[in-house]
Amino acid sequence: MFLFHIIITIAHALFPIFGTIILIMVDFNRFTLSNGLRVLVHEDDTTPMAVLNILYDVGARDEEPDKTGFAHLFEHLMFGGSVNIPSYDEPLQRVGGENNAFTSNDITNYYITLPAVNIETAFWLESDRMLSLAFSEKSLETQRNVVCEEFKQRYLNQPYGDVWLKLRPLAYKAHPYQWATIGQDLKQIEDAKMEDVKAFFKKHYNPQNAILVVGGNVKVADVKALAEKWFEPIPAGDKYHRNLPQEPQQTAARMETVTADVPLNSIYMAFKMPARNDAEYQCYDLLGDILSQGQSSRLYNSLLKEQQLFSDIHAYITSSIDDGLFIVEGKLVHGISVEAAEAAIWKELFKLTEQEVTDEEITKVKNKSESIMVFAEMSLLDKAMNLAYYELLGDAAELNTEIDKYLAVTPQRILHAAKSTFVKEQCSTLYYLTSQDA
């Protein structure tokens, strides 16, 4: 298992043939079982492989403030064996399969890849742990220790490792995005009790809260039969209705300074941006690329190459389902003051609020988005994960129109997004300073 903030790639391929752009759609069929499990099937007879991907509509945002890190902890527990299958990996390895999972603030995703002729093994394994996951104190203790060790190694004992543990609660004051997927406090994971784990499973791990995607060298009729055989007997469970606190409008600049044993001073600036389904989401994605995608981008060219203020600088978005963050982060060159570096960033951001980006700039970043889509189409697993994610967003068919939303972005819309976002009163800034200069 691994933990990372997932930015779902848009998948929708463009292939040039004799100078003509041919649009390749991701075809799929959809049906719903009587217990509420949504199933999508993507047939691809060009490969001998198959993938079974199951997305659970639960992430760190669904945790209680005093029990954070549970979604990620539970991802690990799901590999601890079920009542009927003590070892999850062993039968999968026998049929040439591989598996993994990830947790984000919004979702938890599990997947299996294996030869298509052995796809029923994947149905058997995933349905069994959805129905009858084994809850043992031994498994809980083992996985709790694993997660605690990960917390220490990746977040507490690495240079800049705790940035998101500090930046999220600085930027969010009400919404549960204020804590990272790993959790906000190691002690909350250490204190996880069996009754808490069982309650989490009952609340979130049921057919009504899941989306199953099967792709590869399979047939819809066969997948439907297998889904009905292995998943339909599972009780539907109670439908989880999300009711999260709304983040209020930020009206005053927020700042925090951290001093630690790190090699370089760093600045992290966070601005609120619209949710994933907002009509302007694509503007922010392209805006991040205009600022820092490639050596001709604005921040790289001005602040790193010309002025030599930063050794590293990036702008990107969190792609959160609810209102997300637009981040600008950079590591300063030795000898450059934090004040000078921050002022230089603001100067570049304000340029975007005063004048439209050029046609050349916006064309470049749109082309980059198309390239990402082509690469995404090369992976059967990426297609399965993206179908599940877009279905969660509202309709998997939107996967095939995502590029149109990017191509429709204009310099005027980029200007409007920048004006509404790059405001000092709406910025949360984390200064991460080296103790070596103290």
* 343-364 tens-digit pLDDT: 999 999 999 999 999 999 999 9
Residue 364: per-residue pLDDT = 93
Tell whether the model's pLDDT for residue 168 goes beyond 80: yes
Q: Report the C-alpha gap between 152 and 174 in whole angstroms.
A: 26
* 213-256 tens-digit pLDDT: 999 999 999 999 999 999 999 999 988 999 999 999 999 999 99
Binning pLDDT at 50, 70 and 90, where does residue 24 land? low
Chain centre distance of CA 364? 24
Tell whether the model's pLDDT for residue 208 goes beyond 50: yes
Average pLDDT of span 38-55:
97
Residue 372: per-residue pLDDT = 81
Instruction: Name the pairing type of β-strands 427-434 and 266-273.
Output: antiparallel
CATH 3.30.830.10 domain locations along the chain: 29-232, 254-434
Helix intervals (H) in 210-295: 220-230, 281-292
Stated pTM of the model: 0.92
Tell whether the model's pLDDT for residue 41 goes beyond 70: yes
Average pLDDT of span 171-178:
98
Tokens of 193: 């009790």
The CATH number assigned to the domain with range 254-434 reads: 3.30.830.10
* 308-354 tens-digit pLDDT: 999 999 999 999 999 999 999 999 999 999 999 999 999 999 999 99
Provide the β-strand partners of residue 39. Answer: 31, 212
Query: Which of 23-27, 51-55, 189-193, 411-415 has the lowest average pLDDT?
Result: 23-27
Q: Report the C-alpha gap between 288 and 112 in whole angstroms.
A: 33
More confident position, 321 or 20: 321
The CATH number corresponding to 29-232 among 3.10.350.10, 3.40.50.620, 3.30.830.10, 3.30.70.141 equals: 3.30.830.10
Residue 6: per-residue pLDDT = 36
What is the share, in percent, of the chain residues with pLDDT greater than 70? 94
Q: Report the C-alpha gap between 357 and 160 in whole angstroms.
A: 33
Q: Report the C-alpha gap between 433 and 438 in whole angstroms.
A: 9
Residue 10: per-residue pLDDT = 34
Q: In this structure, how many other beta carbons lie within 10 angstroms of the beta carbon of residue 319?
A: 20
Binning pLDDT at 50, 70 and 90, where does residue 21 land? very low
